[in-house]
Copies of this chain bind each other. A is one copy, B any other.
Amino acid sequence: MRAPFAEVLSAAVARRESQVVLGLDPDPAVLWPQAAEAAAGSGSPAERAGRAVLEQCRLLIEATAEACVAIKPQLACFERLGAPGWSALAAVVELAHAAGLLVIADGKRGDFPLTAQAYAQALAGSTATVAGEVAGLGADAFTANPLLGRDALEPLVASGAGVFVLVRTSNPGAADLQDLLLADGTPLWERLARLVNELGGSGSTQPLSDVGAVLGATRPEYLQRARELMPRAIFLLPGVGAQGGRAEDLGAAFAPGRAAGLVTASRSIANAHEQAGGDPAAAAAAEAKRLREVAWALGA
């Protein structure tokens, strides 16, 4: 029986004094020099690229772990390297755990109930097989897409891992559907928010729920309303940095406590040296530290 994600996260945020989530979405064509060197030697292109991507993630974790509370690997960026990519992903999860970081697997999965169960096994559970039990990725939490409705989310929630459900995303096209007005005059995303609140046990007395929400940090005007609708949800806030969001604008997210808002950044950390100059690892460390201080001050 795993400890509830919200409790584990709350303790980790307090211990590490950080709400920063290191996004890992490595581009295997554009890596730090030391990571690119790991592609040298034997193996197929996919195997060599897998080594390089793993090395890039290792360097990023090494440089920034002290300032972060979790990593958020983007599954697509590993899947595009096939089986060697999935092996690299599994190794990244182990590295993160060894560094005391939680792991939020970002795959935005959503499928029929039986298949949702298989995704829960893949990401945060295990699978019974004719060859014995096979462990999944070992993530502490993962992102999920709610379009298939409540019965498709329930197997994910039942996994016991944290589940961050897409509610209002930060891409320009998000408005196409998530902002559509329903017959009752409210936008679709508010209905998604209500579903998240229900799934998280709206009557619970625990301060935070294991069912959280993905909310784009590029639109802070949504956060106040989102907090009203989901008083106990942990908000995962991508879009800080490279996508234009600013951590300073996210105060409403942290109202229930510091662990109630997680600030994720990936390219703004990995590519910090392009603006700051100097060593990539040192620039990444400085940017993660800066984000941590900004977010921590907001949640006081």
Contact = CB atoms under 8 A, between A and B. Distances in A.
Given A45-B129, A129-B52, A171 B113 contact: yes
A85 B131 CA distance: 13
A36 interface: yes
B173 A148 contact: yes
Interface of A: 25, 28-29, 31, 36, 39, 45-46, 48-49, 52, 74, 76-77, 79-87, 90, 108-116, 118-119, 121-122, 127-137, 145-153, 166, 169-178, 180-183, 185, 188, 191-192, 195, 238
Given A28-B130, A83-B87, A176 B149 contact: yes
A170 B148 CA distance: 9
B180 A134 contact: no
A147 B149 contact: no
A39 B181 contact: no
A136 B171 CA distance: 25
A49 B128 CA distance: 9
A136 B82 CA distance: 7
10 contacts: A28-B128, A45-B134, A74-B115, A83-B84, A83-B90, A108-B145, A145-B145, A147-B166, A147-B177, A177-B188
A185 B147 CA distance: 19
A131 B45 contact: yes
B191 A180 contact: yes
A169 B112 contact: yes
Contacts of A109: 76, 108
B185 A173 contact: no
Contact of A77 (B46, B110, B118, B131): B118
B176 A76 contact: no
B122 A76 contact: yes
A114 B48 CA distance: 23
B133 A45 contact: yes
Contact of A111 (B83, B108, B176): B108
Given A82-B86, A83-B83, A86-B82, A148 B134 contact: no
A222 to B, nearest CB: 15
Nearest to A113: B171
B191 A178 contact: no
A130 B166 contact: no
Contacts of A181: 182-183
A147 B150 contact: no
Contacts of A137: 82
A128 B29 contact: yes
A113 B87 CA distance: 25
Nearest to A181: B183
Contact of A173 (B128, B151, B176): B151
Contacts of A188: 177, 180, 188
Contacts of A113: 171, 173
Of A45, A86, A112, the most chain B CB neighbours within 10 A belong to: A112
